[in-house]
């Protein structure tokens, strides 16, 4: 308290009072709120660590994730030379988990980004234009929405054949409907507000209204929803790999690793559970972070 009074006295108060009172911008408010939210910060930090270590894996990890050793199969956690043990072919688990993050995160984020672009565009157009076009787009989307997401992903992957690209395509198709629906509903809500009417009344074209008045108000909720989808995507991608529809062995990928280590669960359950732990930690961090972002970005709080 004494400190602040001293500070005020030290600054030329008269000059300061004449300066325009700067209102905090929207993004600085959001950042300020996030700074006071330890859970979201921690989750963000964990995710950042996982992402960075996956990207810079060759520089961090000395061990080769593909090098097998029949003699050192299924070593326990914290055994000599192997911090997290080895898998059923004697490969270093630390290396495989870190390298595995590359494919798992790629399959978790890329479909969501694609779906965000395609589904977001469809939903915003449907919501803003309304009428028959809305009907056409949303009912088509509903057809895809009718299938359970796991089933749809498996069906499309199965039809396209196994492989990284095909599983990304199938996951993208799975995520377009929910993103389109969220985008459509928030856009419809914003479109009916008076400020959009006022913008039309000032003679602006639909494109200008979408760019200036609609996007800023709908991207937040859509983006937050998509962040939540990343965790689902990682789990689904792991599921596809587990079923043999995603990545093929010997590539390290968390879902695939879970599948191959499954047989060893009675021999070394801790090591067999590790890829699952990675999936769990990553997806729960994404979920908690999306919750934190949602409340930090709510302008009315």
Partner 1 sequence: MTRAVQARDTRDRGGKAQPLLSVTGLKKYFRLSGGLLGRAAGVVQSVDDISFAVRKGETLGIVGESGCGKSTTARLLMRLIEPDAGEVVFDGEAIGAADGMSVREMRRNMQMVFQDSYASLNPRLPIEDSIAFGPRVHGVSRSVARERARALLEQVGLDPNLYVRRYPHELSGGQRQRVNIARALALEPRLVIMDEAVSALDKSVEAQVLNLLMDLKTGFGLTYIFISHDLNVVQYMSDRVLVMYLGKLVEIGTVEAIYARPRHPYTRALLSAMPSMDPGHRTTQPPLTGDPPNPINPPSGCRFRTRCAFAEEVCARVEPKLVERDAAALHSVACHMDIPGSGHSAAPSPAEKAA
Q: Which residues bind partner 1 (CB under 8 A)?
A: 20-23, 25-26, 193-195, 197-205, 208, 212-213, 216-217, 299-300
- Torsion, Cα of 124, 230, 244, 162 (10° steps): 40
Between CA 246 and CA 263 the distance in angstroms is 19
Least distance (Å) from partner 1 to the CB of residue 198?
Answer: 5
Report, in Å, the least distance between residue 199 CB and partner 1: 7
Looking at the Cβ atoms of 76 and 193, the one nearer to partner 1 is 193
- Among residues 43 and 126, whose Cβ is nearest to partner 1? 126
Nearer to partner 1, 62 or 194 (CB): 194
Indicate the residue among 91 and 191 with the shorter CB distance to partner 1.
191
Provide CB contacts within 8 A for 43, sequence distance 6+. Answer: 284, 285, 286, 288, 289, 292
CB of 52 to partner 1, least distance (A): 32
Residue 203 CB, nearest approach to partner 1 (Å):
4
Separation CA 39–CA 53 (nearest Å): 21
Dist CA 174 CA 49 (whole Å):
28
Distance CA 119, CA 170 (A): 14
Nearer to partner 1, 49 or 205 (CB): 205
Sequence-separated (6 or more) residues with CB below 8 Å from residue 218: 124, 127, 183, 186, 187, 190
Closer to partner 1 by Cβ: residue 80 or 139 = 139
> Which long-range contacts (C-beta less than 8 Å, at least 24 apart) are formed by 63-67?
63/92, 63/94, 63/95, 64/92, 64/95, 65/91, 65/92, 65/95, 65/96, 65/98, 65/99, 65/100, 65/252, 66/91, 66/250, 67/91, 67/92
Shortest distance, position 212 Cβ to partner 1, whole Å: 7
């Amino acid at each position: 308290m004494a400190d602040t009074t001293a500070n005020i006295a030290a600054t030329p108060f008269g000059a300061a009072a004449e300066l325009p009172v700067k209102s905090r911008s929207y993004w600085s408010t959001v950042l300020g709120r996030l700074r006071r939210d330890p859970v979201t910060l921690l989750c963000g930090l964990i995710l950042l660590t996982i992402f960075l270590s996956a990207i810079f894996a060759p520089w961090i990890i000395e061990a080769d994730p593909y090098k097998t050793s029949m003699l050192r199969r299924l070593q326990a956690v914290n055994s000599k030379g192997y911090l997290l043990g080895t898998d059923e072919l004697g490969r270093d688990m630390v290396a495989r988990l870190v390298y595995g993050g590359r494919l798992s995160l790629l399959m978790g984020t890329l479909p969501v980004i694609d779906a965000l672009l395609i589904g977001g565009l469809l939903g915003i157009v449907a919501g803003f234009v309304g009428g028959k076009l809305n009907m056409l787009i949303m009912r088509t989307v509903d057809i895809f929405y009718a299938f359970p997401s796991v089933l749809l992903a498996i069906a499309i992957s199965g039809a396209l054949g196994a492989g990284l690209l095909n599983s990304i395509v199938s996951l993208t198709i799975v995520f377009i409907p929910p993103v389109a629906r969220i985008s459509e509903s928030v856009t419809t809500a914003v479109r009916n507000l008076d400020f959009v009417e006022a913008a039309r009344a000032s003679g602006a074209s639909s494109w200008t209204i979408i760019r200036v008045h609609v996007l800023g108000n709908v991207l937040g909720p859509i983006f937050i929803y998509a962040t939540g989808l990343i965790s689902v995507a990682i789990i689904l991608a792991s599921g596809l790999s587990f079923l043999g529809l995603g990545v093929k062995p010997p590539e390290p990928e968390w879902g695939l690793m879970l599948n191959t280590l499954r047989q060893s669960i009675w021999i070394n359950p801790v090591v067999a559970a590790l890829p699952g732990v990675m999936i769990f930690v990553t997806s729960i961090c994404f979920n908690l972070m999306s919750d934190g972002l949602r409340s930090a970005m709510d302008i009315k709080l």
